[in-house]
Structure formats: structure tokens, C-alpha cells
Amino acid sequence: MPHLVILESPSKAKTVKKYLGEGYDVIASTGHIIDLPKSKLGVDVEHDFAPQYVNMKDKAEVIKELKKHAKASDIVYLATDPDREGEAIAWHLSHLLNIDEKAPVRVTFNEITKTGVKAGMSAPRCIDTNIVDAQQARRILDRIVGYKLSPFLWKKVRRGLSAGRVQSVAVRIIVDRENEIRSFVSQEYWSVDAKLLAASSKKAFPAKLSEVDGEKVSIGSKEEADKLLERLKGAEFIVTGLKKSQRKKQPAPPFTTSTLQQEASRRYSFQSRRTMKAAQELYEGIDVAGMGAVGLITYMRTDSLRISDEAKAAAADLIKELYGAEYLPEKPRVFKSKNNAQDAHEAIRPTTVSLTPDKVKASLSSDQYKLYKLIWERFMASQMQNAVLDTVAADITAAGCLFKSSGYSVKFDGFTKLYEETKDADNEQSGALPKLEKGEKLTAKEVLGNQHFTQPPARYNEASLIKELEENGIGRPSTYAPTISTIIDRHYVEREQGNQIKPTALGEVITELLKEHFNDIVDVKFTAKMETELDNIEHGTVNWVDILRRFYGNFAKTLEKAEADMEGKRVKVPDEPTDVICEECGKPMVIKIGPFGKFLGCSGFPECKFTKKIVTETQGNCPKCGKKMLAKKSKKGKPFYGCEDYQNCNFMTWDLPISEKCPQCGATLFKKTGRQGKIYCAKEGCGYERPLDGADSKDKSNDRSEERRV
């Protein structure tokens, strides 16, 4: 009889089967097969929070197959994902299939390679009940908050709303930032900036006024700036100080789940869900030409920076081969993980460093290739030598005013030869200063006063929100992507142009209501403390029932008080005014938020119940009938474009209509992106097309910015 290995993912099962070969039957549970019931709370709060688990209805066929395969096997190995959810699935499988949870049947794979699979299978262990308890506590906490708090929101705001232990805090963080922006009072300030020319160069370099008569400068108005400019008229600019030094620049550590999502967002504008989908595929196994199915990266849900000695050695050998010994540090780098990091897995890295991005490009989709290249380059760079910069800081004096200028040149490129981390804002002045001598007189090409205004804090984008959640200890690596997806799907927040995230009126109303009556639920510190408690359960230092008891005692009292305080009251979600006129009664229409998103409703409701969809017009016209094109979304949220007269004209495309007209027939042109990107005409019989060039790619944001909501 064969040995049965149960994993979560069918694609991973296929890869693992290849490595295990004959004598092994490998199948997938396709995620959880047992869970709390959907129709009720499913937790006995009176008796130690006993969960009432049920077989998931949509997994009936899977469960039947699992039992059939288990019956035909002499031993069953539970090889679900190496995290809390995976441990819980293994525990549920052991109960479903009558496997002793204390038997050594639990195996984990940090990487889906021959080495990783063999290592996992050679070290089976018992199911870790501490990890299971941590997952149970998290699941029950979330169920209590969701099933007890959501009905309160239905009664006090409207039906169909939900609250969540992590999602509600994420929305509050976004709402608080929006309130900061609204209350921000901009202040005027000025700078005095010079462009100076040295004898050794024909190119002027910038210098900024720093001190006046030995005091740090602060210029609050044009009048003050003009006085200083008058003082500097005809003044000699003399180099009075030079400080030359060297600075070493260290590479960023390899990726964790959070930093991978942040970098993919900054560099490629990937949403976190898109990043994790591609990462999951790279981990589970890709059919690489000439190799078959192979997992290309290590497990992608981790907050550890640990790297195995074998991986470091392999990276060092390849760095030496590709770039030379001078690009290797004296000893392998060790990056320190955060104090609360779970160190069960390594950082995210390529499983086989010799599989360079170019070698596997032909086997990968566009998203997979971009992400693999990012992971490969970041890991390799993390094992390379520092970059060395020659820096110069110059003090320049004129009429009792001190100007400062600095610059650097690269003495040794080190890891930057391969990769540099993208920054949200990089204020570091780049470029070298010309050769300067102390006492040298400089020529002032121009000295100007420049007006500035202090800026409010920026709205969060996905990268900065994930960073904020991680730094505050909210959620875990596996929760960032689903949390952001959830709060957007439920219309508590929305994306603006430039990937900014702002709260909706609905999100603000719910947040204020929760802050007033359930402050702990949306308190950042309280939520972070609960995450720490879950970690303590996993480490076996506290009992999960005790944690739930403490939480529920306070929560139940708070809920009872909130219901009494809000007796007979309802909170109205303010509508967003528009200039659209109701077609039935002539009153202005307003934007409302319903269970399925935003729509236009008459401001005369309930007397007038007229509503209409909000549509987004794009530039260009339908190539089939000449009418306007509308931007739409599929059921899975993927954007597409179709004719406004969809009842009579069936034209649709995934490709973006652009403002440029076809030089052959005058119809709207479309832009197809990806590996075979092009600009083309979709009008039947025309056939015009050309490959994408750099200018076409840069124009993408402009094309989208011309979409107009009506």
C-alpha cells in the first residue's frame, strides 16, 4: 500500500509527487476542509469557548476523496503549509481521517525542491497543538468580533455591514490619516538657493542657505527672503570649509512577506493580493523548460530574515563567478529579525540561485517573472559587498551668510551593480560636486528666493499601509493582503489615482461609531497586544482559553452598554453630492454606497426612488459602432472596456483605449501591455499595429487619468 501525502494546493501536490516518485500517493485538501458554521456563532462561550466545527459543505467531494485515499494507504503524512493555518488544517485532517495527532505524521516543506521535500519527509513530527491553539484562538476571536459586532452595525447603520478584529483597525488607521490631512494647516516658508560655478567645472552646482550671522536661518515670508537677496547682491561666494569622507552603503536584507509586498507595490504598482498570488505560484512549483515542475522560491509567508548556510554558500559561489571576488563581503551577512518575528522559516529567497531570472523567463508569466526577478536580485544583493561612496560637504560663505552643499560619487558600486531598494521618497542629493579648494572664489550664476508650503501627511498606499500595520504589530504576514482586499471590497476605503487609499463616508461613520462604543476593537495598541498573546499561545506560555475569557468578559459588557446607549438611535451615512440631475423629478442626485458599491440615487428619496449606475467614460470611441467606451470591472475585479451601448453592441476588450487615433482609418487606438505589448487598431479590416516603445509605456498613467466618472 502506498504512503499518502496530503497537501493544501493541487499544483504543489503535482510538484511534490514528482520528487517522491513511486510508492507515494499525493493529493490536496484545497485549503480548509473543516471550519466554524456560517449560519451561527458556532462557539460555546459558556463552556470554555468550545468551537463547534463542521465539515465544509463545498468540500464534500474532497472529503470523500481524502477518506478513500487514506483508506487505501498504510500511512498518511500531513504536509499542509508550514504556518498556523496549515497546522490547524493538519489537525482537522487527523480528526477527519482518524489519525493519532500524537503520531509523527506532520511534515513541512520550506521549499518545494527535491532537497526541501526530502528534508521534510525525513523529519516527520507530531502535530504542534500549541500552534493549533493559537490558530483556534485567532479564529474564535475573529468569529466573536464579527458575529457579535456586525449585527450591532446592521441595527445602527444598515444591514450587510461587518466589523473585524484586524480590518476595523486598518480602516481606523486610514480614517485617522484622512482626519490629519483635513485638519492640517499649511504654513508658508521660503528658502534661498544658489547655483554656483567652480573654476574646475562648466556645470553649476546647487547650494542652500543654512545660517545668517551664525544663526540657523528660518525665512517665513517673501519680504524676509528679499532682504537676504538684497544683502547677497554682488557678494563674493568663498569656499570656507570642505569635509571629505567615505560612506559605506549596506544592501537591504532579503524579503519578508511584508517587504516583498511593499517593494512590489512601489516598483510595479502590484496590489498585495496580486503579489501573493504570483509568490504562491512560484513557491508551489512552475513547469520550467527542461526541468519539469520546480518550486522557485522558499515559503512566502514569513517575517524572518534568517538564511541557511547552504543558500549563503551557493550565493557566494555565483557572485564570485558572475561579478568577481571583490563583490563578496569578508564573511557572509547575518540579518537580525524583529523581536516578534516567527523564525520557523527562512526569509524569501530563490531555492536555486543558479536559476537566474533570464534562465526561467520563458517559463514564467509576466507577473511571475517580475516577482522572481525581484526576489532573486534582492537576495543576491543582500549577500554582496557594500557600496562605497566618496562624499563631499562644502561650506560656502557670502556676506555673512553660510550656504551648504553636498554630493557624492561612487567609488565602488558593490551590491548596487545588481539591485537597489525603491524608496517612497528619496531626499538624498545625488551626483558629485566639482573639484573644490578651500578659499576658492565661486561664481554665482543665480541666487533665488523660493516659496514653499508645508505639506500634510500623504495618504496611505498599499506599501505604506502594510508597513504601518507591520510596525504596529497589527496582523501577521499572511493577513496583510486579505485585510486590504476586505476593506476595499466592503467599500470602507477606496483607491484613488496613484494607488492612494482613502476612507469612504461609510468607513468614516463606522470607525467613529466603533471608536465611541468599542474603542478597544479599533485601538492599535490593544490589537497589537492581542497579536502578542496569540504568539504566546503558540510558544506555549499562556492558555488559549484564558486569553479568550479575558477578552470576552470585557467585550460582552461593552456590547451590552453600547446597545443600551444607542437604543432607538441610527447613524446616517452622508451622501456625496453630484451635479447629475434626476431624470424623473429633476432634483440633484447623490452618490450612495450600497452592498454592491457606489451608485447614484435621487436626493429626494424616499419620495423619488430613481437610481442609476455610476459609469466611467474613457477616451476614444467604440471601433465597432462609434459610441463612447466605458471602463468596467469583471466579477473578479479585473478592469475591462466596453461600448456604452452594451445591449446592441457587444464590443469589449481588456486593452486600454488611448487618445491617439489610428493613422490609417482614424479610429481609436488601444494599448496592449505585457510581454507582447503593442499599440493597435481594433477596427475590423484595418490591421494597424506597432510595438510599444518607451514613450508609450510612460504615457500609461496619462491615459488612465483621462477616464472620467459620470
CA distance 486 to 470: 17
DSSP state of 619: E
Query: Helix (H, G, I), strand (E, B), or coil: what is residue 71?
Result: helix
Beta-carbon contacts of 589 under 8 Å, excluding residues fewer than 6 positions away, are 578, 580, 581, 582, 600, 601, 602, 603, 610, 612
Q: In 10 A of CB 135, how many CB atoms?
A: 21
| Active-site pick, 19, 283, 299, 480 | 299
| 299 is a catalytic site residue | yes
Residue 544: phi and psi, rounded to 5, are -65, -35
The three state secondary structure string of 421-477 is CCCCCCCCCCCCCCCCCCCCEEEEEEEEEEEEECCCCCCEEHHHHHHHHHHCCCCCC
Query: Helix (H, G, I), strand (E, B), or coil: what is residue 525?
Result: helix
Nearest to 106 by CA among 84, 128, 130, 132: 128
Cβ distance 296 to 286 under 8 Å? yes
668 has which bridge partners?
Answer: 661
Q: In 10 A of CB 293, how many CB atoms?
A: 18
Query: Helix (H, G, I), strand (E, B), or coil: what is residue 159?
Result: coil
Nearest to 140 by CA among 130, 148, 150: 148
* Kind and range of the H or E run holding 428: none
Residue whose C-alpha cell is 481524502: 66
Cell of 702: 496619462
Cβ distance 4 to 70 under 8 Å? yes
Query: Helix (H, G, I), strand (E, B), or coil: what is residue 210?
Result: strand
Strand order in the sheet with 75-78: 24-28, 3-7, 75-78
Residue 358: phi and psi, rounded to 5, are -65, -35
* Catalytic machinery residues: 299
